[in-house]
């Protein structure tokens, strides 16, 4: 009887290990998928010089026919700001105020609102 219990326990542990590997493998594959911002959404950086430093602004234009939600950040400020942009409109997002950096790289990740 002990042998039967041991085999059942061993089989359960193998199944648990297999399930764990499959789950982790699936998460790894999912994490590697990078979202692609639609081509009809354009973005570009602007630096405005102030007496106390530089303001970093990201312009985002939605030339699509549907509303979009965008996460806007930069190499200087990685904390994303979420904005909703109606179809055919443009927004400005200030990612840094009074920065010492005279240039920056914007990061914009947009998805359509369904």
Per-residue pLDDT of the chain (114 residues; tens, 9 = 90+): 555 555 655 555 454 444 443 344 443 444 444 568 999 999 999 999 999 999 999 999 999 999 999 999 999 999 999 999 999 999 999 999 999 999 999 999 999 987
pTM for the whole structure: 0.69
For residue 73 the two structure tokens come to 């950040």
Structural contact between residues 54 and 101, judged by C-beta atoms closer than 8 angstroms: yes
């Amino acid at each position: 009887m002990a042998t039967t219990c041991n085999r059942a326990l061993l089989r359960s542990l193998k199944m648990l290990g297999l399930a764990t590997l499959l789950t982790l493998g699936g998460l790894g594959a999912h994490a590697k998928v990078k979202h692609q911002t639609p081509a009809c959404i354009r973005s570009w950086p602007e630096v405005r010089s102030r007496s106390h430093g530089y303001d970093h602004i990201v312009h985002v234009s939605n030339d699509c026919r549907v509303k979009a939600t965008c996460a806007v950040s930069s190499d200087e400020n990685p904390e994303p700001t979420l904005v909703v942009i109606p179809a055919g409109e443009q927004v400005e997002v200030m990612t840094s105020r009074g920065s010492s950096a005279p240039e920056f790289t914007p990061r914009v990740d947009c998805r359509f609102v369904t």
